[in-house]
Amino acid sequence: MSLHRTLIVFLAACAALAGSAQAQYVGPTTGPAAPANVAAILKNPVDDQAVVLRGNLLRKVGNEKYTFSDGTAEIRVDIDDKVFMNRKIDAKTRVEIRGEVEKDFMESPEIDVDVLTVVP
């Protein structure tokens, strides 16, 4: 095989690999449904499962730790100060939390909150 032809085959292979590395599927996906409420999370906690819940932060229980309730049950949530952003939120303020379930061995589950939004 000539050097010219070898170079063309090599460049074509590189282009094919580069094109596939850039591909991303952006359509809908199916999988297990996110739990609808705190009671469902506590009944079957799945580590790293994404959740979106609405309810209230009832009390602060530690450094960046709070008790959250959506009316079905209570769960501990971990909200970094940078996520809290110095907002004035009390037990009557309705919030939406987005995050993941954290289930460590021999510990009760909690939610690691990535986004905290005050909702009407």
The predicted model scores a pTM of 0.72
If you average pLDDT over residues 4-19, what whole number do you get?
62
pLDDT for residue 35: 78
What is the C-alpha end-to-end distance of the chain, expressed in Å?
A: 71
Coil, strand or helix at 101: strand
Query: In whole angstroms, what is the distance from residue 4 CA to residue 12 CA?
Result: 12
If you average pLDDT over residues 76-85, what whole number do you get?
92
Coil, strand or helix at 57: strand
Six-digit token string for 64: 């960046």
Give residue-wise pLDDT tens across range 30-73.
Answer: 556 677 899 999 999 999 999 999 999 999 999 999 999 999 99
